[in-house]
Amino acid sequence: NARAWTIQIGAYPNTAAAREELAAYAEKSMDVLGQAERFIVPFTGANGETLYRARFGLFIEREAREVCARLTERGQTCFAALASR
């Protein structure tokens, strides 16, 4: 599946914080993100703590990079990431 890319906006200490950030980010960026799905992906940080990646997706790689570039131009932070990572 070519739509294997997401846009990550950050990693947070709990799912509630990740959900809040996704909602706030989506509100500011609906014109760019459209109806992108919201994902919260848990992972273990370097210190052994669980963090939660806040992401939008799924996109093809070029689309993820273009969307992120447009958001970055507006001062919002993000990066394109494979959904599987």
Q: Which amino acid is at 66?
A: E
Integer Cα distance of 25 and 9 in angstroms: 8
- Supply the pLDDT for residue 1: 59
Supply angle C-alpha 9, 81, 27, rounded to 5: 30
- Supply the pLDDT for residue 34: 87
CB distance 5 to 83 below 8 Å: yes
- Supply the pLDDT for residue 6: 97
Integer Cα distance of 30 and 8 in angstroms: 15
Q: Where are the alpha helices (DSSP H) in 34-79?
A: 61-73
pLDDT in tens, 2-56: 899 999 999 999 999 999 999 999 999 999 998 899 999 999 988 999 999 999 9
Mean pLDDT, rounded, for 76-82:
95
